[in-house]
Structures are given as C-alpha cells and as structure tokens.
Structure 1
Amino acid sequence: MKIMNAPWLIRIVVVLCAGLCAVRIQAQSVPDTSLDTAPSQSQTSSEVTDPGPSKSPDQDQRNQFVPALDGTGLVSMRTNHRFRFLAGETTTSGWDSNPENLPKGSASALYTVSPYFSLQASTNKTQYLLQYEPTFNFYSGYSGNTMQVASAKVLSSASDRLTWTLGLSGSHGQDSARLLAPTQSIPIGSVPGTGPNSSSYLPNAGTITNIDGSLDLHYDLSPKNFLGFDFANSFSSMPSLNQKNSVATTNLFFTHGLSPTLGILAYQQTSQYYGTLSCTTFGGGAGIRWQPLQSTMLVLKGGPQINAPICKSQQGFSYSVSLATKLSGKSQFYLLAGRQPVTGYLGPGLWEDSFSGGYHRQISSANVIVFDVGFVTSSTLKNVSSYRGVYFSSSFTHTLSRGLSIASSYRSYDESSGATGFNRNILLLSLIWTPNSRPPSQ
C-alpha cells in the first residue's frame, strides 16, 4: 500500500476545512425551508415507478419520487415550490485497495470532491427537476479520474385522467469512478434502494457515455382501472472497446383494482437491441400490486419472453419483484429481483438476472446506519463473455447540524468477466453539505 505524502494530506485538510467554513457561513444566512423529500435516507439513473403508500394501488404515478444525485435520499416531484435552486457538496477522503481494477492491484489513499446543483420548479399542472453532479477523484499513487452525472424529470397532469412523465439522465467519464461517487439510489415506492447498476461497471472501458431516456403515460379509465404505456431507451458508447450498445423497451399494461389495497395487472413487453448486437424480443405476463399496510408495498409480475431467431439465444421468461416496507418509524427494508433486458452499459448481451436488498435504521435523532447488497449477472453470447458483479456497502451517518453531516462507509465490489476477475475494497470518510434540505439522517 502506498502511503499518502504530506502535500496530499495538506490538500485534504484544506478542502475539508474550506467546506466546513462555507457551511457554517451559509447555515447562518439560509432560511429554514425544506425541500420536498421522502422521509428516508439512501439510485440510470435507473428508476422504479411502483407506487408508494396511496389510497389505492392504481395510483401508479400520482406521487413519484426521484433519486437525489448527491445520495441524500429521494426528491418528491409533488412540490409547491414555484422555483428553487440548490447547491451542495460532498468531500471525501479514504483508501482504495485496487484503483486500477487489476487481479492483484496496489492500494492508494484518495480524496474526492462532488459538488451538487439542483433546480426545482412547478406550475399548476407541471413539475420540473434538474440535477447535476460531477465527481472528481484524486489518488496519491495514481492519476485521478472523473464522472459527470446529470438528470432531468418532468411530471405533468394533462387532464384529470391523463398524467405523463418524461425522464432523461446521462453520465460521462470513467465508469469505475461511480464506486467512489455518492451512492445513487432508486425509488422503490417511497423507500430509497440500491439497484443492479451498483453491482456493475466496466473497469477497462476507458471514458464512456451513458444516456437513458423514458416516457411514461398513465390514463385512468375509471376509479378502479387504468392503462399505462412506458417507453425507455438506454444508449452506451465505449470508444476504447469499439462498442455502441442500445436497448429500447416498450411496456403496455392494464391494472384493475380489486380493493383499496390489491390490484391485478396484465402487460405486454417488447425490446429492441441495436448497435453492436441486433435482436428483438416479445413477451407478456401478469402480476399483482399489494399494499397490505400503509407503509408496505409488494409488486410482482412475470411471463414468457421470446427472442427472434436473429438473437441466436432465448431468454425464456422475464420477471420483476419489488418489496418495500417501513418496519417502524425508524427503520425500513427493501428487496428487488428481476430477469430483464440487459442494461446497455454492461456491453452486448441479451438479459440480466439481478438482486438487491437493504436495511436502513435511524438509531437516534442524529445517527443512521445503512446496509446494501447487490448482485447482477448477464447472459453469455458466443462473442461476449458473461458478466458477474457483487456489491456490498455499509455506512454510518451523523448529523452535525442542519444540512451538515459526516459519514463513514465501507464498499466492497467483486467482478468477473469470462476467466478474469478482481475485487475492490474502499473505506471513505465524507463531509456532506446539503443546505435547504432535510438532513440525511431523516
């Protein structure tokens, strides 16, 4: 392991002190107004649109949440703010066991800086949310790297029955830098969770570009029935690997509410792969949405998925399961599992099997502990090696004052592709500044 020299230590101390001073000055001048967020702590960019607590399971998109790019939880799209600009920063120092992602890599000390900018606005019928966060990583023994992440979301009620949502997110930089950035959550109802993208990155792909777009339509046929249409497209460019991968997926579904807590659904799903891999898949199935308690939501769906002959391999079936529950006023738990079309940034493949879960607990008014685990594996094609990634993280966050927290975390990642693989362990100590928002411990 290479020990951080004096100049690097001085840099870290200066950055931490500067951030702390800026926070103290800002805290005295900022009024006590809260950003609309879900009451929980935490993420392509991927997103789950299953409903949180509501009056009936058919209110699928009436109260959407969006992951905050700074890793502090979920932002509600239902806001009364006409216009609000937010800025924050996460400054981190720590240790990385394998920055170069090698089978037997050397460790290094590190520090990262992640400024955060957000703009939220609304009209009588439409809500807007723009976010941007770059992450700059510096090492004592290696050259640094960066990752730029941005997202945009628009939620609008075209009429009393029709609601539409438009989403766009993108990232550009070294894909392995994501492991050092603030944890990106995804909304599982109103509970923040860690999706399969936390368990997957391409360590030697060089500078990559990922762009994800989505359009969701929700139409109420009656108080108990609604139609939905989702379109999503994932694009990834990896010049170092000479690859451009894209997956476009459409879903058409119908939901019927049997009771205020139980709904059944039927769906049709089509995926088109283009770029390095050309393939078309068709499928459909059924499922349930069950909300046995106000703070618990279970969504289960699945069915056959048939690939066209050009794919040269069969997926067979697809499914997705999500469970989110608040065990008490101070703890929450979630599970995600699925067999779905492969994410574009994993390279050319047909489908992926994934699992993730986590437990969050507020152990006091100022302290929170979080545990997350994730697993993903992709299909094997003749010209592409299979992929497997396992992720684990734990963190402890202490709120120093309103909008200012300090967090210690451990992250572990194990990856294999074909006959090669590596593991990576990271220890981090972070100062998190989130002015004008609720503390991360809530």
Structure 2
Amino acid sequence: MTTPDWVDHVVWWQVYPLGFAGAEKAALPEQAPVQHGLAKLVPWLDYLVEMGASGLALGPVFASETHGYDTTDYYRIDPRLGDDADFDELVTQAHARGIRVLLDGVFNHTGRSFAPFRQALEQGPEAATADWFGITWPQGWTPGTEPDYADFEGHHHLVALNHAEPAVADFVADVMKHWLRRGADGWRLDAAYAVPSSFWAAVLDNVRSEFPEAYFVGEYIHGDYPADVLAGQLDSVTQYELWKAVWSSLAEANFYELAAALERHNTFLDTFVPLTFIGNHDVTRIASRLDPSGRLAHALVLLFTLPGTPVVYYGDEQGYRGIKEDRAGGDDDIRPSFPASPDELSAVGQPLYHLHQELIGLRRRHHWVHAARTRVHTLANEQLVYEVYDAGHSLFVAMNLADTSVTVQVPAAARDVLAGAGGLDGTGGRLALQALGWAVLGPAS
C-alpha cells in the first residue's frame, strides 16, 4: 500500500454540505421537488483556490433521515442537496480547477430507513439481509415485532452494520467504487474506530484494485494510530491528539502539553502522515476557543508548519464562531449556512482569510513539511521554538503567548524571517518577539 503522491501537496477545505446549503433538518417528503444544495458550492471553488487550498472534503451527501450520518441510500444524492447531475457538475468544476474531492462514507452504521434494514425487519430472520445487522430476534418472532439490534454508541436510530458479514464488505466496496467512478478522489471513513480493521483491509484491497490513486482516511479519536493504519490498510487517520494539544496548550499557556504531543506526532510519521486540523464538524470552533485570548493566529501557524495533511473547516478561515453542545441540535451552531457567494461575506473575516493565504502559501513553498519531523529547541509555558526538518531542509517557528515582549533563543541557522514578525540580532541566536507574537524563520537565502 502506497499513499498517492498527490496527497503530499493537498490542503483540504472541509464543508458540511447540508449546513452550508441551509438544507432542511430532515429528509424531504417523497414527492417534494429536489433541491440543489450542491450547486451552491460551485461559486465557492475559486474562493477555495484563492485561499490556497486544493481539496474539497465533503461531509455526507447521500440520502439520509436527518444530519447525513443516518444514511438511507448510499447510491443516491440527498434530495436536499440535489441529484447525480449536481454531483457530477460539482466534481467537474472542482477538477477543472485542480481541486480533489473527498467523500464522507458512513459505513459503521445506517439510518433505520436503510432498505436492507427495513427488509430484515419486515421479513424476519430469514430475510436475505438479516445478517447485515446485529439483530437479536425474539423467540417465535412474528411480523411487526420490533427486535433488538446493535446500534452506534447508544444512538438507537443509528443501526450498526455487521462487519463480519461478507455481503456487507461487498456492499461497502461497491458503494466506494460507484462514486470513485463518478469522479471522487477518496473517502473519509466515519467512525472508522468502531469497525474491525480487518474489514477495512478487505474492503480497501478490493477498491484499490480498481482505484490505486484513491485516498482513504479513517476517523479515529484515540488509540494506537499506527497499528490501526497498518491493520486497516488506511492511508491516514484524523490526528485528534494533536488537535487537542494545539487548542489546549494555547488556551492554557502550556506549551509542555504541545511538546509532548509533537513527540508522539513524530512517532506516527514513521508509519503514516496524519490528517491534521484545528476545527471540524464535530468540535467547538477554534475562534470560539482562542480568539478572545489573541492566540488564534498561533493555532494557524501550527496547522500549516507542522507535518501532516492539513484541513481547514469552512468558516474557520473567516473567524466563524460556534459552540458544540451535548444536546439535540447541539451541532447546528458549528455547521452553519454560507451566503450565495464570497462577495457576501463580512469584511470582518478578511484579515484572518489573508493570514490563511499567507501561511498556506508558505506551506506550498515548503511542501516537504508534509512528511517531515519536528524537534523542540526552546520550551517554556508561554514560549516555544521548534524546528521542522527533513534531509536538507529546515524551518524554525517561534511563539510567544505572553502579554509582554520577550527574547528567545533560536538556532544559529535561523537567519531569515519568512512570516510573522521578529527581530533577529546581528549574529543570530536571539529573536525578539512582541507580545502574543510569532515568527517563522528559514536558513539564510
């Protein structure tokens, strides 16, 4: 298994389409006209490119009951988002701009209206699809009797698939190939941590036989990431450990937490390149966590100067705020609708958007960072200096979280300020940083 070369250069812009398009919260009535939410993304593709990104990572787009993670038909675009023609046009327009497209596959569980599950409920233990699910049939089952069944983490409306059933593996592989044939470039595998690694290995071996250039990243929250990647034959997993360390160390002014996470991050890079992020559709907005402290820019610097495949969650580049809450509808605030075109955005977000452009541009000029390593040179609660390096290349990043200016020690090789602001002394080795300042430095040009 070899991760496709194009992944070395991609920067994703992640969008939750149902929210972006302002779609209804629940599936449309059967006879309702199709809405065309995916078409609303097309005017934003140039915005994505102008930011410097080169990939569009879509949240769920398939027919579902409510939020997209309760899929009912994996071969059909959700009518709230359009139809096959809308999907084809979005992919065509994206590819014309050099933008890769990543789909979100919910293959651990389904919605209750998923046809094979309805068939099992209606026909009972003898149904052809009965073994697709972990159903506990009552003795003497009769039609109309609701059996118990395995679900996803106690959410009974999310029906867990039986991943030991070969027909389920065949089905998932066929779904993946269907949309790859229509132009998708890869898959994010939702709740991959809840699925046996042997299932992913079998499915992805099947899919890669036809699509060797496809990219597969699993959603993992914690655990032994390298072992999961190897066992599941994945390309990558979501780096939640680093996400937590970034916002927490900045919010609490504790760079020791981040330094420990960077040591772990280096060990992961020996096996795979993680998917790195500071925001997504499941977590409180990074601006809500950090903007009041004046430390939001530091999070962006970390995202784009640390090794990994970076993801920008839509709206984060404009400073959108939103708090995730543990209640029904608690994700709505972090999955907002967007205006019809970038021209309608508030000017308030432009400075942050321009900072994204600057840092992504820096990242593109130093694309080797993708699979590099890091080492810490200066460490205190409120100050950090680290180096990103591989054979023949280095960048140095210095940060100050204090409300007063400081002078920090930097390696003598750090000679030119490439981004941010810092005053190097004439002989090198000392860098003045303003309050809440940061700087990215390179060797002498």
Larger RCO, structures 1/2 (Cα 8 Å, 6+ apart) = 1
Instruction: Pick the structure with more helix per residue.
Output: 2
TM-score by length of structure 2 reads 0.29
Instruction: Pick the structure with more strand per residue.
Output: 1
TM-score by length of structure 1 reads 0.29
